[in-house]
């Protein structure tokens, strides 16, 4: 899996605690080693994690090694980005996108900046 600074990896075993139990909203990237757009998205997620780490937690999950969570949320395309808040999915996006566009799409689910 593509390692990105500031973006933690979750698994079928840690997903509920790390994502559903998080106090901040969590952006989950469903990714795979063979996914070209996922590689394009990696630096974007790293930059957002560095800039917005106080408002959102960003994690990634490898769909090939974690089929349980992947099927639980009916993820079929990579990359799929899902935002979870208070243990519930509140937004889903499919495909890579530039940083500015992703930040705009996340704005409605992020807490106000302090």
**Separation of alpha carbons 63 and 73, rounded Å:** 11
**Of the residues 35, 45, 59, 78, which is catalytic?**
35
For CA atoms 19, 66, 69, 1, the dihedral sign is positive
User: What does residue 99 show for φ and ψ, rounded to 5 degrees?
Assistant: -55, -45
Alpha helices in the chain (DSSP H): 15, 36-52, 67-72, 99-107
Active site residue 74: no
**Of the residues 38, 41, 69, 96, which is catalytic?**
38
Active site residue 38: yes
Beta bridge partners of 29: 60, 81
* Residues carrying an active site annotation: 35, 38
């Amino acid at each position: 899996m593509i390692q990105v600074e500031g973006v933690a990896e979750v698994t079928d075993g840690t997903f509920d605690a790390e994502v559903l139990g998080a106090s901040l909203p969590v952006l989950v990237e469903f990714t795979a080693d063979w996914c070209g757009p996922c590689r394009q998205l990696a630096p974007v997620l790293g930059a957002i994690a560095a800039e917005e780490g106080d408002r959102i937690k960003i994690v990634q999950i490898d769909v090939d090694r974690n089929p349980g969570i992947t099927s639980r949320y009916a993820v079929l395309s990579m990359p799929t980005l899902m935002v979870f808040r208070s243990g519930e999915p509140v937004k889903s996006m499919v495909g890579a996108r530039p940083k500015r566009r992703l930040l705009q799409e996340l704005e409605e689910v992020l807490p106000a900046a302090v």
